[in-house]
Amino acid sequence: MITEFVVTAGETHKRLDQFLVHRERDISRSGLQRLIELGRIRVNAQVVKPSQKIKPGDHITMDTPQPGPLLVNGEAVPLEILHEDDALLVLNKPAGLVVHPASGNWSGTLVNALLAHFHAEGDSGTLNGGKAKPGLVHRLDKDTSGVMVIAKTDHAHRALAEQFEAHSIIRMYEAFVWGVLRHDHGVIEMAIGRDRVERKKISSNTARPQSAITEYRVAQKFGNLASHVMLSPRTGRTHQLRAHMASLGCPILGDEAYGDQKVCRVKEIGIPRVMLHARTLGFQHPLSGTFQEYLVRLPSDMQVICQSLQRDIGS
């Protein structure tokens, strides 16, 4: 796909990659740099470097390759299934498991595991033919553990997606966060989107803000160094809980992206991952119409951290 830009008179002299990163929101700065180095992005029909300074009147062309269909193989990855019927599957995703195949993680993902599981059951569901099609109604980050629902039919996918879009899904997360919140209970209303500068992060410093609301409640305090909180997202934005907690000065423990290296250790306690767990998921079943709710308590690694915080810091 060819995209063209003409640098306007109001643009200041800046690097080509810096200019493009604010116009191509779906491509990272490193991705743009690779396209420039491959000659797929040119200035005035000339091959240039990412550091090329653009000026008013420059004509930029970008040839973005179109991805072909993604074929995914089934793999025997263990799954902890909480419930399964003809319409859907509910599981407990462990921390460390990537949900969807992508660059750097083409195998060993949840989608690979689901393909193998459905094949063994004689039902390929909405992941038909090995193609990664919408069966994933929602996702959890790699380091986040907890409850997920997977649609097995197109009807179930539409019905569940409508509930997520209407924010009628019941969701509760548990997290251990850095420091102590000013209030024991509250609601965070802060629009967020892709950060203008740090493109891998979500924040309020964005050109495309989307409404985001999170309710929180402090369950336990570990001195003045850390807290155990319950989080209920009323909206479902990418990295919403991580960005919202960081905005209060209490980033989630282990979340170096939003809290720097300081949150990876509390006194002598090392934090092995982002301390975030999807505890509860409730929804209306697409076929029966009955409300179903699933709860998974803290995984063992978070229980160990909790016990260490209680023992070494106190509450």
Domains of the chain, by residue range, sit at: 2-63, 81-165, 170-312
pLDDT tier at 123, thresholds 50, 70, 90: low
Domain 2-63 classification at class level: alpha beta
Check if 81-165 and 170-312 are the same fold. yes
Quote the distance between the C-alpha of residue 153 and its chain's center.
24
Q: Is the dihedral of CA 247, 299, 237, 284 positive or negative?
A: negative
Q: What is the pLDDT of residue 101?
A: 80
Place of tokens 């929101």: 25
Collapsing DSSP to helix, strand or coil, 272 comes out as: coil
Residue 71 has pLDDT above 70, yes or no: no
Poorest-pLDDT segment among 100-104, 201-205, 270-274, 307-311: 100-104
Please state the rounded mean pLDDT for residues 172-201: 94
Q: Is 85 tagged catalytic?
A: no
Q: Cα(41)–Cα(245) distance, rounded to whole angstroms? A: 38
Pick from 96, 106, 81: nearest CA to 254 = 96
Q: Give me the DSSP letters along 50-68.
A: TTPEE-TT-EEEEEPPPP-
Arch. (CATH architecture) of 170-312: 2-Layer Sandwich (3.30)
pLDDT tier at 247, thresholds 50, 70, 90: very high
Residue 7 has pLDDT above 80, yes or no: yes
Domain 81-165 classification at class level: alpha beta
Structure tokens at 199: 């493109």
Q: What is the mean pLDDT of the chain?
A: 88
Around Cβ 189, how many Cβ atoms within 10 Å?
13
Q: Cα(300)–Cα(262) distance, rounded to whole angstroms? A: 23
Stated pTM of the model:
0.76
Among the options 141, 143, 184, 312, which is catalytic?
141
